[in-house]
Amino acid sequence: MKLLSNYFKEMKIAARGFYFYIEIVMAVILLAILLLAVSETSTSNRKLFIYNDMPQKIVEYQQDKSIKDGDARLADATEFKLKPAKFEITHQETGETTAYDFTDEKIIELETMEMLDSSTGELEETVYYVETEEDMIRLAYGESEMGATVAMDAHGKVSNKYYLQGYETDRLKSLLYILDSESPNVINAKKDRQVVRTLGVMETLNNRENWVPVFLVYLGSLMGYFIVMAYIFYDKAEGVIRAFAVSPSAMWKYLISKIFVILTTVVVSSSIITIPVLGGQPNYLLFYIFLIITTFALASLGLLVASFFDSISKAFGVMYAIMISLMIPAFSYYIPGFDPLWLRFVPTYPLLQGFKEILLNGDAGYVLTYSLVFLAGGLVLFVLADIRFKKTLTV
């Protein structure tokens, strides 16, 4: 009864404040952007620089065949500016390093082909044909894109040598190994080599749907973390926590009622975005379980942080640092090549992956495992916050 009374009071206060409406209005705006401005299919901007070490006639034959099969189309020639550059490349298998030092600057015009998805006709990749291997390596480095040398030996056997940036996934590297001969050449254009894991789900969510997990995490859980702190600091400024502390009600009921308000807001805003975009596709039971548990965990983190400070201005540094840290996994989400091991320990990383799994009706085991992890973590944070608030009532 006291819990319910606290919840209704908090909802009434939230409804009379602006945070609640910001969250809902933001959800509506994001939905409008998704439905009106984001297409279901993506526009590819992948580039590939190729140096063909084979007779021109064979090259032309292959290009004509691709165009005829609907796999490619010719585009206008493209100009690139080659700037002075100094770098090293390392052969992945031999470890042999080659140093390059270009001091000149020049503009080159490259024959350009657009590679298409044969079934949809959508642009997948733009291929630029470079006349020398050196220029190809220089462009791959300068443009931070993949380069390749396609060679044909005296027996007519074709082999590819790839120039990568170093952060590409093992998955991509494995794919290149499979596509090519038993003895491929995969070369990193930068020295750092990273272990990478990518999830296959990205390939099956369409472009519009692919935005939803990010919105769910940042508009939901992350805003929950921020808004619960805002509510607490507002109460601290009004002194009402001290008034509550001299009532017969337990402190945890006060704290959990704040989280319930956040959960209500997040469930509403997340539904506004998810249902119109995904329709009946996701498992909504799993969706709401994951949404509620993860929001609870991050809101508990917000409570704990708020317990250490008496005003939002004093908490701002820590609050901001945590928010930025929690936002980093979004880079990995959009740049699959950036996926270092440490990133998986940032809570929003499994959150993003979990929502992707749910939206695709994918790996429920992954979602449930992380739900349990977040529930346990959230409970620990909540208990710590409760202890902290009891100790710092005069703050």
Binding site for other proteins (CB under 8 A): 1-2, 5, 9, 12-13, 16-17, 238-240, 242-250, 390-391, 393-394
CB of 7 to other proteins, least distance (A): 11
Q: How far is CA 199 from CA 19, 334, 356, in A?
A: 35, 12, 9
Nearer to other proteins, 12 or 191 (CB): 12
CB of 379 to other proteins, least distance (A): 20
Q: Which residue, 247 or 369, has its beta carbon nearer to other proteins? A: 247
Exposed, middle or buried, 291 (CB in 10 Å: 0-12/13-18/19+)?
Answer: buried
Closest CA to 186 of 200, 197, 202, 170: 170
Q: How far is the CB of 257 from other proteins (least distance, A)?
A: 11
278 neighbors 363 (Cβ within 8 angstroms): no
DSSP 3-state assignment of 57? helix
Q: Extract the tokens encoding 182.
A: 């038993």
Q: Do the beta carbons of residue 73 and residue 67 sit within 8 Å?
A: yes
Shortest CB 395 distance to other proteins, Å: 10
Whole-angstrom distance, CA of residue 341 vs CA of residue 349: 11
Smaller CB separation from other proteins, 171 or 388: 388
By C-beta, is 74 or 393 nearer to other proteins? 393
Q: Taking the complex as a whole, how short is the minimal distance between the CB of residue 385 and other proteins, in angstroms?
A: 17
Nearer to other proteins, 126 or 265 (CB): 265
Of residues 61, 53, 62, the one with CA closest to residue 151: 53
Looking at the Cβ atoms of 257 and 274, the one nearer to other proteins is 257
Work out the burial of residue 215: count CB atoms within 10 Å of its CB; fewer than 13 is exposed, 13-18 middle, 19 or more buried.
buried
CB of 4 to other proteins, least distance (A): 9
